């Protein structure tokens, strides 16, 4: 069966605090987050920018979180104000995953990797691995 796998990376800067955390991460601070998106599909789809079925999805749809927070993304926002869950790295990856699925065609397997620092990252998918 044919398979296409898109990979893209982007960065965004944001502030947050982990509500209820007993330590310095419980105070407002910021990170330069790095995100990798991996989108796998067995068929090609149209996009908002291309009507023919020639893409897994548009890279623009995968990079929505890199947009300014005032334009629907996460960049330069306070994550506690933008997300309905606590802002741990795990929940940030899950949030980006769930919001991205709303923006891309059905049937695409998505994996999100979020680096909070150069040496600390989390991977999230809703598929069994």
Which of 25, 97, 99, 109 does the annotation list as catalytic?
Answer: 25
Q: Is 25 a catalytic site residue?
A: yes
Q: Is 106 a catalytic site residue?
A: no
Q: Is the dihedral of CA 91, 93, 95, 97 positive or negative?
A: negative
Which of 76, 90, 97, 99 does the annotation list as catalytic?
Answer: 76
Distance CA 55, CA 61 (A): 11
Q: Is the dihedral of CA 80, 64, 37, 29 positive or negative?
A: negative
Which of 31, 61, 94, 116 does the annotation list as catalytic?
Answer: 116
Q: Is 31 a catalytic site residue?
A: no
Catalytic sites, residue numbers: 25, 76, 116
């Amino acid at each position: 069966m044919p398979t296409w796998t898109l990979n893209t990376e982007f960065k965004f800067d944001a502030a947050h605090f982990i509500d209820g955390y007993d330590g310095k991460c419980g105070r407002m601070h910021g990170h330069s987050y790095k995100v990798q998106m991996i989108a796998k599909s067995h068929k090609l789809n149209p996009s908002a920018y291309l009507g023919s079925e020639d893409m897994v999805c548009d890279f623009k749809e995968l990079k929505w979180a890199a947009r300014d927070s005032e334009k629907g993304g996460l960049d330069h926002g306070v994550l506690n104000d933008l997300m309905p869950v606590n802002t741990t790295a795990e929940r940030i990856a899950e949030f980006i995953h769930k919001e991205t699925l709303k923006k891309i065609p059905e049937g695409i397997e998505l994996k999100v990797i979020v680096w909070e620092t150069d040496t600390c990252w989390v991977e999230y998918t809703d598929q069994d691995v």
